[in-house]
């Protein structure tokens, strides 16, 4: 889940608790036979509406997720059988993979857990993400499974492959997150399989707590990683800094791993692809962010 400065953290929590609707009243004038002016209420424009509607309602989103996990499962046995097969980049592999126990590494949010109801709350309230309302959502343990993810995780577990949950949920959200996962049928070997944001990794330094490469190094000391799953490029390899150019360069370098060792879930709702277009400056007004996205569009032949 993205983490940038909240717009109205306390007010946001109150509105979410009250189920407030963010709407605009639009007068439409007199209707035939009426004695007064009528009005309809129209939801305010929200840049996230289209993406979240697609994720919640479309057969296309479900099909996309299911086919990703199904294709990964079709290749899992060959990855398991190849002792040299590893899905960590060399910078993240600090101990040779050969002979280590097999694992798959999955991000949580929008990779195995669908948090779209939280996004709906934001759309309806007209508020931005903030840590307080997000923490409340996590504590509710109400996230749904991303289509196909439970089946894949159970199949991996049945093969003796440990499922590692490498997430930017925080360490204090471990119990609620694992309870949510367990309730949906995900295998949770023990609490050590939750690698949350802020987890210290001896001998590894990183620029921000949300970067994952130190936690991938932790995994590399114990496991041969057969596959990784995520909805952000940073779930696999870290763009530094997070610019469109660096992201394109990483895709050029590692893109061939997707569909074999790495598996990307679709998330048009949020992600680091977005702030990469406006210098990662979440303090910019929404209109300025929107203009940057407009400028990034390409209509050339």
Q: How far apart are CA 265 and CA 100, in angstroms?
A: 27
Q: How far apart are CA 129 and CA 188, in angstroms?
A: 28
61 token code pair: 């989103």
| Least spacing, CB of residue 98 vs Mg ion, in Å | 30
| Least spacing, CB of residue 112 vs Mg ion, in Å | 9
> Is residue 178 helix, strand or coil?
helix
80/166 with CB nearer Mg ion: 166
| Least spacing, CB of residue 94 vs Mg ion, in Å | 24
| Least spacing, CB of residue 118 vs Mg ion, in Å | 13
| Least spacing, CB of residue 110 vs Mg ion, in Å | 5
109/130 with CB nearer Mg ion: 109
Cα angle 34, 39, 40; round to 5: 125
Residues that bind Mg ion (CB under 5 A): 107, 109-110, 231
212/224 with CB nearer Mg ion: 212
DSSP letter, residue 221: T
86/107 with CB nearer Mg ion: 107
- Nearby residues of 252 by Cβ (< 8 Å), 6 or more positions away: none
Q: How far apart are CA 211 and CA 233, in angstroms?
A: 11
As a whole number of angstroms, the longest Cα–Cα distance in the chain is: 82
| Least spacing, CB of residue 207 vs Mg ion, in Å | 19
162/167 with CB nearer Mg ion: 167
130/235 with CB nearer Mg ion: 235
DSSP letter, residue 208: S
Q: How many CB atoms lie within 10 A of CB 213?
A: 20
What's the CA dihedral at 73, 79, 80, 81 to 10 degrees?
Answer: 130
100/188 with CB nearer Mg ion: 188
93 token code pair: 């592999």
| Least spacing, CB of residue 125 vs Mg ion, in Å | 22
Of 149, 145, 289, nearest in space to 227 by CA: 149
């Amino acid at each position: 889940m993205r983490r940038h400065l909240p717009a109205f953290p306390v007010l946001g929590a109150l509105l979410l608790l009250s189920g407030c609707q963010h709407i605009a009243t639009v007068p439409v004038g007199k209707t035939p036979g009426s004695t007064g002016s009528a009005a309809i209420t129209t939801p305010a424009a929200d840049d996230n509406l289209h993406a979240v509607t697609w994720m919640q309602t479309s057969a296309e989103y479900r099909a996309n997720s299911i086919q990703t996990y199904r294709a990964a499962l079709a290749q899992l046995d060959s990855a398991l059988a190849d002792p040299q097969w590893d899905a960590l980049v060399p910078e993240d592999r600090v101990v040779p993979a050969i002979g280590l126990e097999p694992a798959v590494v999955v991000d949580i949010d929008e990779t195995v857990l669908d948090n779209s109801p939280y996004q709906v709350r934001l759309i309806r309230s007209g508020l931005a993400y903030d840590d307080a309302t997000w923490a409340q959502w996590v504590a509710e343990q109400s996230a749904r499974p991303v289509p196909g993810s439970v089946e894949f995780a159970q199949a991996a577990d049945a093969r003796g492959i440990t499922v590692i949950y490498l997430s930017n949920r925080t360490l204090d959200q471990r119990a609620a997150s694992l309870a949510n996962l367990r309730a949906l049928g995900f295998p949770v070997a023990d609490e050590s399989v939750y690698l949350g944001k802020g987890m210290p990794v001896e001998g590894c330094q990183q620029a921000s707590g949300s970067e994952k490469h130190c936690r991938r190094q932790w995994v590399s000391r114990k496991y041969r990683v057969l596959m990784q799953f995520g909805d952000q490029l940073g779930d696999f390899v870290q763009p530094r800094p997070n610019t469109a150019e660096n992201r394109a360069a990483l895709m050029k370098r590692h893109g061939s791993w997707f569909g074999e060792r790495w598996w990307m879930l679709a998330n048009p709702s949020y992600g680091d692809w977005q702030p990469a277009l406006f210098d990662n400056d979440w303090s910019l007004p929404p209109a300025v962010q929107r203009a940057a996205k407009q400028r990034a569009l390409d209509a050339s032949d």
